[in-house]
Every structure is written in structure tokens, then in C-alpha cells.
Amino acid sequence: MKILEDRILKDGQVLGHDVLKVDNFLNHQVDPMLMQQMGEEFHRLFKDEKITKILTVESSGIAPAVFAGLAFKVPVVFARKHKSVTLKDELYTSVVYSYTKKVSNHISISKKFLNSDDRVLIIDDFLANGQAVQGLVDIIKQADADLAGIGIVIEKTFQKGRELIDKEGIHVESLARIKAFEDGKVIFMDEANTINANN
């Protein structure tokens, strides 16, 4: 998605060799006009999948997910993060390890909001090592719902998340796919829009 790639080039900040900070339009300050365009793009990509529900994780997934929900006209459920889970009976729960924060969190959703009639589109802000997405996939399996696909805002193709998902034969679409960070610059998979190609 060209408008997103351009925004990453303009406002993204590369930290070290594998972190991209996009806190001025996606995960701390949010650009709602961009989110709306992203929601419509997710709809274009998955519109034939008969989606009945969007699933994401708090907090950074919520903004892109609710605009996808608006485009599909379906409810959005955001999984909550907990250090531990006590009331397990009413919840679907999975464990997610965060490589960036080096902690494990439980994520959970109320059983009343996901069931075997649902066809679910997962939306998340980043796909890196794939832990959050795998937790959501696990929850969808527990609910015996159908996983229709996964929509990602920014994918880092050089980390292992995409490979893990591809192994399971899941339909994944990422609005921006980053192949590498070179000298603090972002290089996209789509050759036409890399920094180098613009030189």
C-alpha cells in the first residue's frame, strides 16, 4: 500500500537492526485518516471471505481493526493482555511471548464473543516473530471458529512470523512488507517503492 510505505519512509524510525518505531501514526499517536484508508484496503483484500468478525489484541491493534470492522460492517473483538488469568471458565486464553518486551502475557477473550459460526479476520499492527498472531489463531481454534485470514499493517519479512503462518496455509496480506533495514533505512519487498529505487 503505497500511502503507508510513503508514511513509513517519512515518519518511521529504525532502531538497531530489527526495530521500526512508528509511534507517530500507528501505535501511540494515531492518524485516523490513514487508519480509515487501511481499513478499506483490508476490505478490498478480504472482501470475498464472508468475514463475520474481526479479532485483534489491545492496544495497538485496535485502531486498524475498528476501521477494518467499519469497512466490513462487522463487530471487532480485542483480546486483553493479562499477567495471569484467574477466571478461566468464561474465557478463551492463550500465552504470547513478546520478544521486544521479553515477557509472556496471557491474552484472552470472552467466550460469548466468538463461536463456531464465525469466520474471523485477524488484524494486527506488526508481524515480526508471529507470537501475537499465533495466540489469536490458538483462540480461534479453541472457539471452533473459522480463520478466514490475517491482515497485517507492517510485516518484517526477515523475522520468522510469516514463515510460521505460511506453514499453516493461512491467507495473509500485509499492507507494507519490509525486507530489511540497511544503514538505518527501510527497504520494502515491493522493489518499486524502496528508498533505493527512488534514488
| 90 near a copy of itself, judged by CB under 8 A | no
Residue 191, φ and ψ in degrees, nearest 5: -60, -30
CB 154, CB 184: distance < 8 Å? no
Number of C-beta neighbours around residue 75 at 10 A:
13
Question: What distance, in Å, lies between the first and last C-alpha atoms of the chain?
Answer: 20
Query: Minimal CA–CA distance to 68: which of 89, 46, 87?
Result: 46
C-alpha cell at 80: 486483553
Of the two residues 76 and 137, which places its CB atom closer to a copy of itself in the complex?
A: 76
| 80 near a copy of itself, judged by CB under 8 A | yes
Of the two residues 101 and 167, which places its CB atom closer to a copy of itself in the complex?
A: 101
Strands 19-21 and 53-57 come out as unpaired
CB of 166 to a copy of itself, least distance (A): 29
**Residue 27, annotated as binding a ligand:** yes
| 110 near a copy of itself, judged by CB under 8 A | yes
Piece of the chain touching a copy of itself by CB under 8 A; list 8-16, 65-73, 123-131, 156-164: 65-73
C-alpha cell at 18: 530489527
CB of 125 to a copy of itself, least distance (A): 12
Count of residues in contact with a copy of itself, rule CB under 8 A? 29
CB of 36 to a copy of itself, least distance (A): 6
| 132 near a copy of itself, judged by CB under 8 A | no
Of the two residues 5 and 118, which places its CB atom closer to a copy of itself in the complex?
A: 118
The 7-46 site mask, x for binding a copy of itself (CB under 8 A), equals ----------------xxx--xxxxxx-xx----------
Any residues with CB less than 8 A from the CB of 86 and at least 6 apart, and which?
none
Q: Which long-range contacts (CB under 8 A, 24 or more apart) does 41-45 make?
A: 41/1, 41/175, 42/68, 42/71, 42/72, 42/121, 42/123, 42/151, 42/173, 42/175, 43/68, 43/71, 43/72, 45/151, 45/173
Of the two residues 33 and 95, which places its CB atom closer to a copy of itself in the complex?
A: 33
Please report, as ranges, the residues that interact with a copy of itself according to CB under 8 A: 23-25, 28-33, 35-36, 58-59, 62-63, 66-67, 69-70, 73, 75-78, 80, 109-110, 112-113
Residues in binding site for xanthine: 20, 27, 156
